[in-house]
């Protein structure tokens, strides 16, 4: 029976070395730094009006940092906001949103709060932090889960002699091997983003990002035996230099795209109504 990724993330992981979160702190901050450098002056002023001296990179990791907050919102509601479930072979027009919500429904709700003139500054701050976070989440391929393996958390891998899972490898493993701070990494990626890429990637439509993520997701599982990518605790899939070399360009493209799309999305959110 297909399990939704939202339900699965609520359960304890088999071997997850960190809580499930897209990109990890460095990846989220890279996205936010690129966006902060590319938003319009009007958007920059709107952000400062809401967050004060808190920059987008700081705001980007806040939703993950609050996961242990005992408040009912964090323990009962927000957990399902970080991912969507799109089974292999289905298009985004066939997305089914669970009753508890998912990343797309949460993004729409928080966007409405940012555009609500009656919302308090505190409500808008929570909404903006989530918007920054969720745009990045939706660009991580395993956060558009196929509904069968908890977003790659059930795929046990031997990653450079460390037993972990495929989700963590994409969250943090490949990024951490660069040994760069988020600002250094954002600078490296921004120097590679030319006007052609900005024009091609300037897309504020979240379902387009999900479709891209799901297409990439279906390609990144390591091949092993008769059943693709399903390593176990007793028989993990060994991946290392070859996997890293093959997929690191895709990791960096998704980080760069998420930064450009976040700028596009925020400019749209704060455009004069």
Q: What is the pLDDT of residues 60-117, one digit of tens each?
A: 999 999 988 999 888 888 788 889 999 999 999 988 999 998 999 999 999 999 999 9
- Show the domains of the chain with their CATH numbers: 5-269 (1.10.575.10)
Q: Could you tell me which residues are beta bridge partners of residue 126?
A: none
Amino acid 235: pLDDT: 74
Cβ atoms within 10 A of the Cβ of 95, count? 18
Q: What is the pLDDT of residues 200-250, one digit of tens each?
A: 999 999 999 999 999 999 999 997 543 455 666 667 889 999 999 999 999
Closest C-alpha among 160, 146, 267, 159 to residue 217:
146
User: pLDDT value at position 224?
Assistant: 55
Burial (CB count <10 Å: 0-12, 13-18, 19+), residue 32: buried
Residue 258 CA to residue 254 CA, distance in Å, equals 6
Please state the φ and ψ torsions of residue 144, each to the nearest 5 degrees.
-105, 75
Model pLDDT for residues 107-147, shown as the tens digit of each residue: 999 999 999 999 999 999 999 999 999 999 999 999 999 99
């Amino acid at each position: 029976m297909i399990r939704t990724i939202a339900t699965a993330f609520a359960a304890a992981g088999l071997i997850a070395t960190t809580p499930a979160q897209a990109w990890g702190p460095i990846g989220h901050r890279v996205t936010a730094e690129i966006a902060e450098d590319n938003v319009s002056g009007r958007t920059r002023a709107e952000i400062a009006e809401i967050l004060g001296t808190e920059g987008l990179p700081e705001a980007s990791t806040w939703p993950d940092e609050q996961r242990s907050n005992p408040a009912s919102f964090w323990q009962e509601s927000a957990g399902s906001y970080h991912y969507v479930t799109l089974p292999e072979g289905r298009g985004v027009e066939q997305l089914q949103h669970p009753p508890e919500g998912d990343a797309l429904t949460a993004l729409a709700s928080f966007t409405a709060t940012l555009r609500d003139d009656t919302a308090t500054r505190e409500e808008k701050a929570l909404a903006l932090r989530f918007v920054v976070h969720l745009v990045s989440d939706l660009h991580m391929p395993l956060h558009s889960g196929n509904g069968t393996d908890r977003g790659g958390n059930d795929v046990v891998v031997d990653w450079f002699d460390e037993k972990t899972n495929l989700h963590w490898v994409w969250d943090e493993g490949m990024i951490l091997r660069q040994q760069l701070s988020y600002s250094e990494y954002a600078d490296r990626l921004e120097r590679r983003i030319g006007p052609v890429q900005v024009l091609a990637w300037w897309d504020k439509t979240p379902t387009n990002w999900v479709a891209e993520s799901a297409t990439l997701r279906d390609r990144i599982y390591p091949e092993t035996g008769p059943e693709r990518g399903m390593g176990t605790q007793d028989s993990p899939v060994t991946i290392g230099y070859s996997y890293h070399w093959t997929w690191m360009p895709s990791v960096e493209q998704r980080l760069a795209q998420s930064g450009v799309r976040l700028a596009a999305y925020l400019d749209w959110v704060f455009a004069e109504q």
